[in-house]
Amino acid sequence: MSSLHLEANVGDIAETVLLPGDPLRAKHVADTFLDDVVCYNKVRNMFGFTGYYKGNRVSIQGTGMGMGSTSIYVNELINTYKVKNLIRVGTCGAIQKDINLGQVLLAMSASGDSDANRLYFDGMHYAATADFDLLLKAHEVAERLHIKTYKGSVFSTNTFYDNAPNRWEKWQKQGIFGVEMETQILFTLAKRFGVKALSVLTVSDNIITGASTTSKEREQSFNDMMKIALELA
């Protein structure tokens, strides 16, 4: 049996799945970090792979950008493939001046503008939060690997392009550290279905200062983020 958007057979996907937005990143991680890799999905080029990291079985599945696309894969991974731990690995744009580019962030919670979240809760607001066990474990792994992490809250938006002036000011004042497009729906769906979720992010740009990372800096912080996430398998 497979699902609507994934052609894997039940059992092909590990209990712990890492979720980058970009399917080619999923391929890169599988090629770089995993042993005995099998590609289980090519539908829509949204590649998914299962392999072993230090002997532990782990999968890595592209989600596409935004909460609409992410929610499709998260729903199917949980409900058809019985995945238990879902860990987003992605980038965000910082909205605090003092957050460095390349910094690795562990999202404790996610605010956002997703209509899905409003529809699920009759217009009321659910506080989408990370799973504490995964968060604690990620913190401990990062300390052991001497990778500095910043913990805080993100904002997940469905509109990358919006020219509204001072768009992020109220969220900056509320202490939100960065903006991305997937974490809120991941946290909401994981809790809805009784599984665990975490979001590990690196800062690719600073929306307030306009600074952005070079490809070399991106590679270093990307590898740090991946090492933390893979240790959670």
Interface contacts to ligand HPA, rule CB under 6 A: 91-93, 157, 160, 179-181, 204-205, 207
Give the strand pairing for 149-156 and 104-112: parallel
Shortest Cβ contact with ligand HPA: which residue?
Answer: 93
CB of 224 to ligand HPA, least distance (A): 17
Token pair of 65 as six digits: 């950008």
User: Is residue 92 within 8 Å of 155, Cβ to Cβ?
Assistant: no
Alpha helices in 126-214 (DSSP H): 132-144, 169-173, 183-192
Task: Tell me how far, at minimum, the Cβ of 212 lies from ligand HPA, in Å.
Answer: 9
Q: Is 205 assigned a catalytic role?
A: yes
CB of 146 to ligand HPA, least distance (A): 25
Q: Which is nearer to ligand HPA, 55 or 165 (CB)?
A: 165
Q: How far is CA 59 from CA 130, 153, 171, 188, in A?
A: 20, 26, 34, 21
Tokens matching residue 159: 């509109």
Catalytic residue among 131, 133, 205, 224: 205
Using the minimum distance from each CB to ligand HPA, give the nearer residue, 50 or 213: 213
Q: Which is nearer to ligand HPA, 81 or 187 (CB)?
A: 187
CB of 205 to ligand HPA, least distance (A): 5
Question: Least distance (Å) from ligand HPA to the CB of residue 66?
Answer: 9
Q: Which is nearer to ligand HPA, 85 or 156 (CB)?
A: 156
User: Contact, 56 vs 21, CB < 8 A?
Assistant: no
Burial of 86 (0-12, 13-18, 19+ CB in 10 A): buried
Q: Which is nearer to ligand HPA, 15 or 113 (CB)?
A: 113
Task: Classify 152 as helix, strand or coil.
Answer: strand
Closest to 180 measured CA to CA, from 75, 59, 94: 94
Residues with a catalytic annotation lie at: 205
